[in-house]
Amino acid sequence: MARDLSARIEAITGERPDRISPLSGGCVGDVYLAAMPSGRDLVAKVGDSDSGLNLEGFMLEYLAKHSALPVPHVLAASDELLLMTRLKAGGGLGALVQRDAAEKVAALHSITTDQGYGFVCDTVIGGLHQPNPWTDTWFDFFREQRLMYMGREAERIGRLPTRLLVRLEGFCAALERFIEEPEQPSLIHGDMWTGNVLSGRDRITGFIDPAIYYAHPEIELAFTTLFGTFGDAFFNRYHEIRPIRPGFFEERRDIYNLYPLLVHVRLFGGSYVSSVDNVLNKFGY
């Protein structure tokens, strides 16, 4: 594997790696660090013919072209190999880093489109298909392309009980009682958990593994709280730039986190099923 990967990297860059070593992480493919003679390190993700790595490369290139969000530079992208620059990392997500993250995420959320909610193509999240048909309203997009789509997928493979899917459908029918239509769509990263946020020297050095689309920015903000990515320092600074409407932390955060919870039910089942049950109970469904 290492010899074959070295040859493929050499064909792309003109340099043969000094060494290749495995890296942790990667839902979609195996991840390797390639130390190059020039001194720049590269990251190589290796997958099969339907891995979605080509989409990951496209999303990184889209962010690089359309936003100022720091992301790896893509050298080559196919479902078999995604080759990109390695971003420096190793720092924690302390208060200064979180404030820097808030400024970068707020700038990302200021990017909009007149095509509605969705994206130019379907994408992936955690290796799962993520449909993005352009939709005129956020209510319809979030209900059909996020909650009901992922709920049906989780139920189809036996990880979400049918009774919960029925309750989810009832909740979705009343969704407009609980969430708000935003003024305009916002470009979001889409998978902003701690492992996808890189930092060093009290600043953000990059965001990786995107699952981008145009959405209500609150779905991104909610996701950053689900696994403790960001806290008060982030939200205080973000609120200074883009005020967060009342009711987000009390109610809408839990509603928006239904989507990543359903993603995790589809992937893993287990305790995530109870988390979905708890959210539906909270809202009377």
> Hey, which residues are catalytic here?
191
In sequence order, what DSSP letters do the residues of 149-195 get, joined into one string? HHHHHHHHTTSS-HHHHHHHHHHHHTGGGT----SS-EEE-S---GG
Indicate the helix (H) or strand (E) that contains 278: helix 271-282
Compute the 3-state secondary structure of the chain and give helix, strand, coil in percent, each to the nearest 5: 45, 20, 35
Closest CA to 135 of 190, 221, 215: 215
Q: What is the rounded CA–CA span in Å between residue 271 and residue 184? A: 35
Burial 192-228 (b: 16+ CB within 10 A, else e): beeebbbbeeeebbbbbbbbbbbbbbbbbbbbbbbee
Mode of pairing for the β-strands spanning 41-46 and 30-35: antiparallel
Q: Name the CA radius of gyration of the chain, rounded.
A: 19
In sequence order, what DSSP letters do the residues of 36-59 get, joined into one string? -TTS-EEEEEE--TTSSHHHHHHH
Which DSSP symbol is given to 68? Answer: -
